[in-house]
Amino acid sequence: MTNTLSLFEGVLKGNDDRWEIPTQQEEWPRGNVIAHLLPDVPEEIIHAAGFVPLPVLSSDHRFSISEGHLPSFLCPLVKGPFEMALNKSLDFIKGMAIPYVCDSTRAFSQVWESYHPHLFNHTLWLPKKCDPRSVRPFLIAEFNRLKQGLERLSGRQINDDRLRQSIALYNLNRGFLRKLFQLARAPNSPVTYSGFLSLVKTTMMLPREKGNEALAGLLEMIRTQTCTRKERSKVFLFGMLCDSSKFLDMVAQAGLQVVDDNLYNGTRHFLQDASESIDPIEALVDRHLSKDPLGVYLFSREQWSDYLLKRMGQRGVQGVIYLYPRYCDPMEFDFPFLRGELHSMGIPVLSLELDFPSISEAQMRTRLEAFSEMLKGGL
């Protein structure tokens, strides 16, 4: 626990940004890990089956081995894991769950299965629609299909109590992260948003039992700490994954204060809990359907407008940084529409393709600084 706590402390302070799978394999019991891509795989089911769920994240977008195996114009969120598999960084996993949420994940799941026929491979058919009336029965059956697949793999049944225990463990984790989230958004907090997002990513990649104990210790440790910072323009990070502390540091240095996000390694990961008092599969389905709008799913213009109005207003957001991974069709399709919605609310938008190392740091810094000046009324 002490080691994990010091790791968390280091991540929070920005001293340790290299929490990557290849260097941390000892954290996972060999042969017992079910990896998965993001978003929205119900990890609780994997956990209840006796496996350790591990989201495969890769902030390193330098692809060399995978280039001959996948088209160059594929999203880094799927190319990264494939590169890691080819360079043997994922040799220790027992299986892979891939959520079907877009063309990239759908097509990639086929290639993955073709390359790794010896693994437990499961494509989770997440529905495009999020209207509970038409989707809920299907999604219950679909989450049960994952449960049954894992039961066959482990050779033992997942009973409701066991699944509820996993849900409780994950709820506890989400609760800790929500407390840290409140701290990260406060102007006088010792927790920076950059440190916070790095910490979320770190906890996502650790067994929850270990993470929860350290998070409790960390919250206790920083409970009374304060820090004085200058008042800065409040921005919302809109995107999918942002695990680059280099970028987040640039945001802070440009005079911008992140107060909220909708990222996979941000609020999408922890805002909603699953009920511990109803059928556990139904609880996980309800959690999924209660999540915020996301471009890979189908939400109406009105649903988006309501969401943006509420969320931006709640946080006093002055500007939005629209971060899309290179070659992300859903986010590219949504950009003109969402920018229009935000502009109609008087909120300026800066769009950035977050693709280190191929983008110019200097250019990104300049754009962030110009955006910050604009928000301050200087431009």
Partner 1 sequence: MATSQGIQTLSLLKEMNEEYYSGARRAAQEGKRVGFVNVFAPTELFYAMDIVPIYPENHAVFIQARKMTLEVQAHSERIGYPAGLCSYALCDLGYTLSGISPVGGLPEPDFFLTSNSQCGTLTKWFERMSDHFHVPLFVIDVPYTGGKPDHEHCRRYVRSQLLELIAFLEELSGKRLDWDRLKEVIRLSNQTVSLWEKIIGSAKHIPAPISVFDQFFSMAPIVAQRGSEAALQFYQKLLAEIEIRVAEKKGAILDERYRLYWDSLPLWHELKWLFTLLTSHGASVVSTIYTLPWAEFRLDPDDPVSSWTDEYLHYFDWHLERRVDLILKLAEKYHLNGFIYHNDRSCKMFSTAIPEIKRIVQDRTGVPGYILEADHGDPRFYSREQIENGVAVYFEVLESRSSHP
Among all chains, which residue has been given the structure tokens 């001959």?
Answer: 68
Among 4, 58, 89, 104, binds partner 1 (CB under 8 A): 104
Q: Identify any residues that bridge with 95 across adjacent strands, giving them in sequence order.
A: 34, 120
Q: Quick check: 152 binds partner 1 (CB under 8 A)?
A: no
What backbone torsions phi and psi does residue 240 show, to the nearest 5 degrees? -120, -65
Q: How far apart are CA 276 and CA 293, in angstroms?
A: 24
Per-residue contact track with partner 1, 267 to 286, x per CB under 8 A? --------------------
Q: Quick check: 302 binds partner 1 (CB under 8 A)?
A: no
Query: Which residue number, 7 or 349, has a Cβ lying nearer to partner 1?
Result: 349
Q: How far apart are CA 316 and CA 233, in angstroms?
A: 10
Among 137, 187, 313, 357, binds partner 1 (CB under 8 A): 137
Contact segment (CB under 8 A) with partner 1 among 5-13, 66-74, 161-169, 261-269 equals: 66-74
For 52-61, b/e burial (b = at least 16 CB within 10 A) is bbbbbbbbeb
Rg, the chain, Cα only: 20
**Could you give the C-alpha distances from 50 to 25, 44, 165, 338, in angstroms and in order?**
18, 10, 12, 41
Task: Report, in Å, the least distance between residue 68 CB and partner 1.
Answer: 7
Q: Quick check: 82 binds partner 1 (CB under 8 A)?
A: no
Task: Report, in Å, the least distance between residue 196 CB and partner 1.
Answer: 30
Among 35, 48, 296, 364, binds partner 1 (CB under 8 A): 296
Q: How far apart are CA 211 and CA 48, in angstroms?
A: 17
Give the binding-site size for partner 1 (rule: CB under 8 A): 47
Q: How far apart are CA 325 and CA 222, in angstroms?
A: 33
Query: Which residue number, 43 or 142, has a Cβ lying nearer to partner 1?
Result: 142
Query: Which residue number, 280 or 295, has a Cβ lying nearer to partner 1?
Result: 295
Among 115, 120, 307, 356, binds partner 1 (CB under 8 A): 115
Q: How far apart are CA 212 and CA 174, in angstroms?
A: 9
Which residues are near partner 1 by CB under 8 A? 68-71, 73-74, 100-104, 106-111, 113-115, 123, 125, 127-129, 134-135, 137-138, 141-142, 145, 295-296, 298, 301, 327, 329-330, 332-337, 339, 351
